[in-house]
Amino acid sequence: MISKEAIVSYIEKAMPDADVNVVDKTGMMDHYALEIVSSAFKGMNLLDRQRSVYAALNEPMKDGRIHALEIKSRTPEE
């Protein structure tokens, strides 16, 4: 299990300007929907954006605290 606040912290370490909205999809604190707005996504295609989010969350993904993610990513201009 991982808290919403911890997820936001991991994302903000990788993308300091990120505006992150986290929704616990099941109430079990391991399936989350993320909406992230960051200038770090400029020039990235959808796959690269997802990869950058997974890289930011590598530790909790590897140790099983996060089981599933739904990711929506966009730049501030989008």
Q: Where are the domains of the chain?
A: 4-74
Amino acid 66: pLDDT: 96
Mean pLDDT score, 61-71: 95
Mean pLDDT of the chain: 96
Which tens digits make up the pLDDT trace of 17-30? 999 999 999 989 99
Nearest to 54 by CA among 23, 32, 76, 21: 32
Q: State which fold the 4-74 domain adopts.
A: GMP Synthetase; Chain A, domain 3 (3.30.300)
